[in-house]
């Protein structure tokens, strides 16, 4: 007899991915999309990310916890592809709970497959940067070195903290610290030498506090997939920082594009319903690397400085002033293709209006000529978003023209429009 095969459940996974160099405002989009979701899965990166969200009037600066953590109706998952600095995680949990390490009601689950960043990974990050002729300008959070250990198959995973016996864990630590200790002494940092005991004590501490959150998350995800529950995959970093598709070598060490996010979350592509590509109305970049539309920022009157001040473009993770410039539609077109973007979310439409007013014009890059950005100039001079604006028709005509130009050149509809930092300051076009 032929077996009966249950058909695939109706896809209901939404991926939220950055299209530029990070800091596009993904946190707010995720917070919005999570309103009717069952699960939110943070899928790649680590504490190099920084999301600022304002949920019900309370501001949260998050690095590792999913942006849904403030929402009691959602289960937040830190997925297999994340590299976790437990020190950072503990701090965030402490802050979000008030003053304890207890997140109630099973609201947070951490994949036992996620890798652990240990303090020496940050020293390695520093050392590698120092040794490089072309610096990447990493966040210094140990992301690259931890990922390299993962790829070299010597990493320690969250599940190891929970399940390994003392001798198993000590053996893993011994294996892991061999090469970094050699490098530290070779390159003149003997004081950075790590001892097995020191690492073991740290791992014991993480085990005691975090074990109740660490599980195999696959059964949890599979159950919701079977019911076609809404699941949101939370991206970190962005397309141009993708290790394969970004500006190599000035990239991060993961695949923050939509397919990479899907894989790192543990979800098959047939379950994806839509990909939301998030951009700002201008561009910013922290760290080194190409930036075709970058604007000068030597004096306060320079366009780069104006964008930075009006957009508050200082890193959430490192406090570094961000490099700023005009929107780059060449970058965006490519990002939309690689990510298979269904809808765009355009943030900072309020800010770009103010930038236009201050600069006297707005520019958008529509092509490159031998690597150099070519611009279309909008001859109007910016706008202000009216108070209590809640739908697309209430936006100033110039703002609509700006948005429709993005749609025309990318061939992707703009469904979400961010008009301020709060969770409510978002226009959602229902007709798109
Ligand atoms: P890493 O991820 O710390 O190794 O840094 C590699 C590059 O990615 C550097 O240019 C960082 O500034 C950049 N980067 C990493 N995470 C983020 C982010 O969340 N927002 C913006 N830039 C990031
Ligand atoms: Mg950020």
**Residue 56 in this model has a pLDDT that exceeds 80:** no
Distance 237 CA to ligand 2 centre (A): 7
287 touches ligand 1 (CB under 6 Å): yes
Mean predicted confidence (pLDDT) in 357-362: 95
Mutate to test the pocket of ligand 1, among 138, 143, 316 (most ligand atoms within 8 A of CB): 138
**pLDDT attached to residue 429:** 95
pLDDT surpassing 90 at residue 8: no
Rounded distance from Cα 219 to ligand 1 centre (Å): 32
* First-to-final CA distance of the chain: 47
Q: Residue whose CA is closest, atom 2 of ligand 1?
A: 252
Please tell me the distance between residue 191's alpha carbon and the centre of ligand 2 in angstroms: 32
Q: What is the chain's mean pLDDT, rounded?
A: 95
Q: Give the percent of the chain with pLDDT over 70.
A: 100
Q: How high is the pLDDT of residue 76? A: 97
What pLDDT, in 10s, does the model give residues 118-155?
Answer: 999 999 999 999 999 999 999 999 999 999 999 999 99
pLDDT value, residue 254: 98
Residue located nearest, by CA, to atom 22 of ligand 1: 22
Task: Round the CA-based radius of gyration of the chain to a whole number and report it.
Answer: 22
Model confidence at 350: pLDDT above 80: yes
Q: pTM (2 decimals)?
A: 0.96
The band of 3, judged by pLDDT with boundaries at 50, 70 and 90, is confident
Across the range 160-179, mean pLDDT stands at: 98
For ligand 1, is residue 241 a contact (CB within 6 Å)?
A: yes
Chain position carrying tokens 């994949």: 111
| pLDDT at site 407 | 98
With a 6 A CB cut-off, is 48 part of the ligand 1 pocket? yes
- Dist. CA 44 → ligand 1 center (Å): 12
**Is the C-beta atom of 286 inside 6 A of ligand 1?**
yes
| pLDDT of amino acid 117 | 98
In angstroms, the CA 192 to CA 430 distance is 56
Q: Which atom number of ligand 1 is nearest to the Cα of residue 287?
A: 10
**Residue 313 near residue 352, CB atoms below 8 Å:** no
Stretch 218-240: mean pLDDT? 98
CB 136 less than 6 A from any atom of ligand 1 = yes
In the prediction, which pLDDT does 231 show?
98
HSE at residue 240, side-chain half, CA atoms within 13 A, is 27
Burial (Cβ within 10 Å: 0-12, 13-18, ≥19) of residue 304: buried
* pLDDT confidence bin for 99, thresholds 50/70/90: confident
Q: What atom of ligand 1 comes closest to residue 318's alpha carbon?
A: 12
Residue 273 has pLDDT above 80, yes or no: yes
Q: Per-residue confidence at 180, pLDDT binned at 50, 70, 90?
A: very high
Per the annotation, the verdict on 51 as an active-site residue is yes
In this model, does residue 47 exceed pLDDT 80?
A: yes
How far, in Å, from the CA of 94 to the mean position of ligand 2?
21
Lowest mean pLDDT among 343-347, 391-395, 428-432: 428-432
Residue 55 has pLDDT above 80, yes or no: no
Q: How do strand 51-55 and strand 323-325 relate by DSSP bridges?
A: unpaired
For residues 54 and 262, the model is more confident at 262
417 lines ligand 1 (CB under 6 A): no
| Beta bridge partners of residue 12, listed in sequence order | none
Q: Is 23 a catalytic residue?
A: yes
Protein residue whose Cα sits closest to atom 8 of ligand 1: 252
pLDDT of the residue at 265? 98
pLDDT of 7 above 90: no
**Predicted local distance difference test score (pLDDT) of residue 81:** 98
Q: pLDDT digit string (tens) for 230-272? A: 999 999 999 999 999 999 999 999 999 999 999 999 999 999 9
pLDDT at residue 58, rounded to an integer:
83
User: Ligand 1 in contact with 144 (CB < 6 A)?
Assistant: yes
Under the banding of pLDDT at 50, 70 and 90, the label for residue 6 is: confident
Q: What pLDDT score does 221 carry? A: 98
Quote the pLDDT of residue 131. 95
**Nearest bound ligand to CA 45?**
1
Residue showing tokens 């009691």: 72
As a whole number, mean pLDDT of residues 359-368 equals 96
Asked if residue 371 has pLDDT above 90, the reply is no
pLDDT tens digits, residue range 380-399?
Answer: 789 999 998 999 999 999 99
Whether 70 has a pLDDT exceeding 90, the answer reads: no
Q: How confident is the model at residue 293 (pLDDT cuts 50, 70, 90)?
A: very high
pLDDT at 98: 85
């Amino acid at each position: 007899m032929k077996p009966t095969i249950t058909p695939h459940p109706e896809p209901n996974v939404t991926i939220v991915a950055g299209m530029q160099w990070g800091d596009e405002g993904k946190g707010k989009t995720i917070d919005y999309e999570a309103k009717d979701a069952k699960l939110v899965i943070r899928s790649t990166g680590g504490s190099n990310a920084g999301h600022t969200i304002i949920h019900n009037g309370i501001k949260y600066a998050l690095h590792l916890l999913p942006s849904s953590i403030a929402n009691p109706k959602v289960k937040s998952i830190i997925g297999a592809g994340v590299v976790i600095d437990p020190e950072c995680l503990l701090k965030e949990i402490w802050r979000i709970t008030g003053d304890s390490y207890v997140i109630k009601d099973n609201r947070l689950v951490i994949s036992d497959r996620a890798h652990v960043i240990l303090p020496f990974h940050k020293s390695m990050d520093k050392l590698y940067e120092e040794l490089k002729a072309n610096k990447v300008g990493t966040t210094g959070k140990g992301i690259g070195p931890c990922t390299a250990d993962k790829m070299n198959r010597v990493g320690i995973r969250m599940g190891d903290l929970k399940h390994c016996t003392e001798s198993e864990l000590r053996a893993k630590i011994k294996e892991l610290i061999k090469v970094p200790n050699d490098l530290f002494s070779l390159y003149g940092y003997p004081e950075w030498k790590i001892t097995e005991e020191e690492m073991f004590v740290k791992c014991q501490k993480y085990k005691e506090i975090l074990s109740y959150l660490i599980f195999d998350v696959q059964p949890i995800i599979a159950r919701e997939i079977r019911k076609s529950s809404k699941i949101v995959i939370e991206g970190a970093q962005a397309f141009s920082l993708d290790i394969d598709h970004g500006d190599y070598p000035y990239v991060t060490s993961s695949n923050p594009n939509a397919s990479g996010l899907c894989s790192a979350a543990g979800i098959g592509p047939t379950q994806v319903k839509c990909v939301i590509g998030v951009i700002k109305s201008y561009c910013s970049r922290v760290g080194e690397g190409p930036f075709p539309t970058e604007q000068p920022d030597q004096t306060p009157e320079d366009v780069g400085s104006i964008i930075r001040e009006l957009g508050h473009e200082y890193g959430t993770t490192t406090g570094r002033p961000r490099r700023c410039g005009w929107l780059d539609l060449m970058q965006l077109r490519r990002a939309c293709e690689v990510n298979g973007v269904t809808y765009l979310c355009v943030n900072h439409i309020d800010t770009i209006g103010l930038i236009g007013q201050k600069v006297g014009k707005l520019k958008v890059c529509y092509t490159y000529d031998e690597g150099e950005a070519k611009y279309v100039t909008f001859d109007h001079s910016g706008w202000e978003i009216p108070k209590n604006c809640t739908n697309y028709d209430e936006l100033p005509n110039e703002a609509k023209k700006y948005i429709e130009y993005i749609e025309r050149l990318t061939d992707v509809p703009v469904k979400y429009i961010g008009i301020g930092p709060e969770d409510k300051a978002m226009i959602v076009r229902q007709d798109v």
